[in-house]
Structure 1
């Protein structure tokens, strides 16, 4: 076998930080060496505020460099993004100004957000990360650069590093950036107007843009008709063979069906913004033998306990805070039905779905029509229902809890495992890296005009 070549992975979230997208990156770095590519990783330094520890296995010989962010402290792990505590919200209502004062405060806040959180609140990591990335290029002499977002500000580092070194750059978009189907966020309204400009600069500079669904790839091709369509490629999220063995062991010792015939629905993950559990909880009123377990952060705006009490289902609704990944797997193995909540987009498939496939348990997919619904139906993994329609959800629950509804032996599970095998899909990434590096020579890093000590944000953008 030929000697491995090196690729620099720049991915802010990496274990022990466990958040969306981490599993995808870990699978790539684990299996790429089998295809002749050795990753070296640049990531956030989580300090003492990292999320719950996970069961992810990181290769022992993987070089990981960590750089701390400047400024804003990480969000506490117990509070999902986009939420505030009840006390903070109440305090704001009391102190909320009116008239001219309110307008001035809005202008001041929006200006501050524009200057400090554009294109996102993680941009304060870019300058120190770019400096460390340059040092890593000098130390490891990689043949290519890979960035993974969100946070999409990481792609600004990839763009700048490509321009400075001449190395080919692959940008992996796990979520949309400029054209977000779920709409704008309330914070930083002025900065969001610049997203198309940032995205266009990054897309134009990248040698290859990877999207994780075919619909998302088609969206990018359509939006950038002047660029070669083959620049936009799809590598979906995947089922990890290493995790499959662990899950099979859990399933061999689990007894999911309760002695009283109660069916347990399990949702593992955060609930926030449009991921609203209340229609599902309301549907329980029509399914007396079904209980719902939520593990993970839940936005206070949903008032799950109060909502369940008002509908008379409190005893059948359990909400638990985030737990280690190993414990999440145990709870998923003990459940009868997996719940997938993915509203507001037809472009995306949540990474959690590919983990669910490994359990071979019926999936209640609460999602709009699109990529997620298509996949569940194609492989006959469960039932799709509107995430906002309690009656439709109740009907789906009834279908999944009917005698003989357990579909663990149907061939779709094996086909899905094979089609989304992480090792095979990493091979696809390796082929892309081979393609962008063929015949390319990096610029001499010793002739870079920007000093290594320059950490200004302007140098990153």
Structure 2
């Protein structure tokens, strides 16, 4: 399994997809080998995540540099040093290491996962050199209307994307709309080459987190967003302005509402946005915490927040499934035409507003707070929760492996190595 995002990397929730696949594949007769990058290549690290890796799982961390931090000067670097992405040097370490593992363990399948383009380039190289069947996992679509913006990078990504779709055995997506985009983009490719395996939640991690039943109600509701926020696609600016509007109208104050933006990424920028909106008494910008502590916070919250703009209409944040499992009301600031909105509406959640519409957000937020306070807000059904488990998602992946290999023996997974007798 070839995966850049793997513990102790801390900036992407994508680590949970690979981590949980590698944890649960053994239940279905597969033993993974994970190949990942040396932790020096990560912008942010959370060493506590290492405890989530099963002790029997072999993880090979190979040479990789970040062009921005290791090949640049004061954060500036040549684009040629960051192709196909800032971690292109990972290819230099991963390919020789993977070939050595192939010779030693005779794996049956190669699996690589995007959104780091170098991962699919590694998978492509191994497939061409070894002839092993290759499963390409797309957590996000590669080429999108406005991303990547660089013409040179876009051409290179386009080549990697086309080679991946044409040469892989199966292309796996996390949403049906993303799969449909690729079917339309590559009409010459057989439809049965495409599959969907959605994200999910890890019951084991939730099993170690418990709601704080000792907490006494204070009359103040707590809403939580857990994860990175940024200007393009997940901008909380209008949401903060909506809180300010409700505050001016006397509908909310520091005694009745608390909003936590947990691990938003650029803490300084987010704190500045909060101050500019005049809601620093209500909104707290909080640093990253270990994963299980983040789950604990979800369980203790009164409501959970989602930001997913139009740019990500073909994607569903992995946290959505964790929110389902937390059995909490959800307020979603999303494009109503996007996949996230469709999934939430199908699950019965109606508190949705466009992320860039301050007035609409203020109206929906006011209604949402009232429903939560009255105990009338919708939460996920038990059937939905059961169907969203990572264990079930891994069963689907194992089925893809079985179809790929008549005699399953081992799987090469970026960041982890596992052998099967």
Query: Counterpart in 1 of 2:258?
Result: 291
Residue 53 of structure 1, aligned match among 43, 47, 50: 47
Q: Secondary structure at the match of 2:332?
A: strand
Residue 240 of structure 1, aligned match among 196, 202, 207: 202
Contact kept in structure 2, 1:29 and 1:39, CA below 8 Å: yes
Query: Counterpart in 2 of 1:266?
Result: 224
Query: Structure 1 residues 305, 423: closer, same or farther in 2, change over 3 A?
Result: closer
Contact kept in structure 2, 1:362 and 1:406, CA below 8 Å: no
Q: CA deviation at 1:334?
A: 2.5
Which segment is superposed worse, 327-336 or 420-429? 327-336
Query: Counterpart in 2 of 1:276?
Result: 235
Stretches of structure 1 that go unaligned for 5 or more consecutive residues are 1-8, 76-87, 93-108, 443-461
Query: Structure 1 residues 163, 307: closer, same or farther in 2, change over 3 A?
Result: closer
Q: CA deviation at 1:61?
A: 0.7
Q: How does 1:25-424 map to 2 (within 5 A)?
A: 25-47=18-40, 51-55=45-49, 57-70=52-65, 72=67, 112-113=78-79, 115-178=80-143, 180-181=144-145, 183-185=146-148, 188-247=150-209, 250-251=210-211, 253=213, 255=215, 258-259=217-218, 261-274=219-232, 275-285=234-244, 286=246, 287-288=251-252, 289-299=256-266, 303-343=269-309, 344-369=311-336, 370-381=338-349, 383-403=351-371, 406=375, 412-424=380-392
Q: CA deviation at 1:407?
A: 5.5
Q: Secondary structure at the match of 2:31?
A: strand
Quote the Cα distance in structure 2 between the aligned partners of 1:320 and 1:194: 37
Q: CA deviation at 1:48?
A: 9.3
Q: CA deviation at 1:297?
A: 3.5
TM-score by length of 1: 0.79
Stretches of structure 2 that go unaligned for 5 or more consecutive residues are 411-421
Q: Secondary structure at the match of 1:399?
A: helix
Alpha-carbon displacement from aligned partner over 1:17-50 (angstroms, at most 9, x marks no partner)? 2323110111111111111111011111114965
Note the aligned Cα RMSD (angstroms).
2.7
Quote the Cα distance in structure 2 between the aligned partners of 1:160 and 1:308: 46
Contact kept in structure 2, 1:340 and 1:364, CA below 8 Å: yes
Quote the Cα distance in structure 1 between the aligned partners of 2:275 and 2:408: 64
In our comparison, the structure showing a higher alpha carbon Rg is 1
Quote the Cα distance in structure 1 between the aligned partners of 2:409 and 2:59: 25
Q: Secondary structure at the match of 1:318?
A: strand
Query: Structure 1 residues 360, 22: closer, same or farther in 2, change over 3 A?
Result: same
Quote the Cα distance in structure 2 between the aligned partners of 1:189 and 1:273: 21
TM-score by length of 2: 0.86
Alpha-carbon displacement from aligned partner over 1:49-106 (angstroms, at most 9, x marks no partner)? 651234562221111111021463669xxxxxxxxxxxx89xx9xxxxxxxxxxxxxx
Query: Structure 1 residues 32, 282: closer, same or farther in 2, change over 3 A?
Result: same
Alpha-carbon displacement from aligned partner over 1:406-447 (angstroms, at most 9, x marks no partner)? 45785x4312212222112211111110101127999xxxxx
Quote the Cα distance in structure 2 between the aligned partners of 1:208 and 1:234: 10
Query: Counterpart in 2 of 1:453?
Result: none
Contact kept in structure 2, 1:208 and 1:231, CA below 8 Å: yes
